[in-house]
Structure 1
């Protein structure tokens, strides 16, 4: 499936030119999405990467799935998209770090925090991923600052709108949801390991 050039870092496994596509819709504050992220990292990236069994055949696109019943979902996805802008190579490491710490952004722990405090925590997490480059953290934070208009959003709002509109037009309601070549693959589960993914890919690619 297509991606704007600016969002190509959302391809987190496989080669951009691979003929098959797994679109995986994930919410940073969804526990099942966190499980799926571990499978992407430990199973799909090795299988689809250099030297992998399915190298050059499949790519994985991380589709941010904002779920507004999670109060911080907008904030955490803005943060992920900000990392895409300032340091694309850190998007996947930041995503894994955010999934690991997702409990800090659940409804109850965030109940008394202001949006500014939540974004400050996300900037701290980004800094841990970026390492010693403090300029990246400053750039990250500046992208999340509100613009001059009282209701104009921030510099990431257009990217966030794209991801929300993409989910809506494809009828995506829950996370994780996985599309294989544009069609929902309901059989895929966040509990899948190497065996299940190998069987799925073998059946699809050799069909």
Structure 2
């Protein structure tokens, strides 16, 4: 499926691979965290660095903003900012953000301002991307245009939201195989289930 060029860090595996897993995830969704960790252990090694399906299968991480969670916009913004300033560190930060998601759940974050939430997210990113990226990350996540103009990554956030809407994606996680929703794929899938699925789908 199509992908805006600025979101290239969201592709895992060879971008030219003929088969595609589109994985729609929300950073404050516990099932998305489970999907991420199982995928990281069971699938990512197979589609990169000479794995069995390297060059045959790629995965695209699709942001699935869930606005009933107050911080969902902010956590997705920081992932976009990290992808821009340190694309090679995107996946490492993606996993760290998923595993640190509880600090951004509704109740723990309820008394923070949006600016305070962004500061905490930047603090989460800095050990991964480096302290030298603090200024540029802060700049990307600061409102500085018109009073209602968003941040420097708002256009990319809009793209991800519009993409989900036009493809009728509603829940996280949702996984597509070659453009079609694969309802059988579960966040609980481990090595056994993923291995069987890929064996049945990748025939060449």
So what's the TM-score if we normalise by structure 2? Answer: 0.98
Residue equivalent to 1:67:
66
Q: Distance in 2 between matches of 1:137 and 1:3?
A: 27
Question: SS of the counterpart of 2:43?
Answer: helix
Gaps of 5+ in 2: none
Tell me what 1:147 maps to.
Answer: 144
1:51, CA displacement in angstroms? 2.3
Q: Write the distance in 1 (CA, Å) between the matches of 2:89 and 2:46.
A: 21
**C-alpha deviation, 1:135, in angstroms:** 2.8
Paired positions, count? 204
Q: Is the 8 A contact 2:39 2:190 kept in 1?
A: no
Whether 1:79 and 2:78 are equivalent positions in the alignment is yes
Q: Distance in 1 between matches of 2:149 and 2:69?
A: 22
Aligned to 1:114: 113
Which piece of structure 1 moves more, 184-193 or 49-58? 49-58
CA distance in 2, matches of 1:138, 1:10: 23
User: What 5-or-longer segments of structure 1 have no aligned partner?
Assistant: none
User: Which stretch shifts more, 181-190 or 1-10?
Assistant: 1-10
* Alignment pair present for 1:164 and 2:145: no
CA RMSD of aligned residues (A): 1.0
> Is 2:79–2:90's contact at 8 Å kept on the other side of the alignment?
yes
Alpha-carbon distance in structure 2 between the residues aligned to 1:203 and 1:87 = 36
- d(CA) in 1 for partners of 2:14, 2:37: 19
* Farther-moved stretch of structure 1 (51-60 vs 115-124): 51-60
Find the residue that maps to 1:67 and give its secondary structure: coil
Displacement after TM superposition at 1:55 (Å): 1.3
Instruction: Work out whether residues 19 and 177 of structure 2, in 8 Å CA contact, stay in contact via their aligned partners in 1.
Output: yes
How far apart, CA to CA, are the structure 1 residues paired with 2:52 and 2:192? 13
The DSSP-based 3-state class of the residue aligned with 1:24 is: strand
Q: CA deviation at 1:39?
A: 1.6
CA distance in 1, matches of 2:46, 2:146: 46
Deviations 1:1-30 (A, max 9, x none): 11121111001x221110000000000000
Q: Give the alignment's TM-score, normalised by structure 1.
A: 0.96
The 2-side partners of 1:5 and 1:206 are apart by 29
- Detail structure 1 runs of 4+ shifted over 6 Å in the superposition: none
Counterpart residue number, 1:88: 87
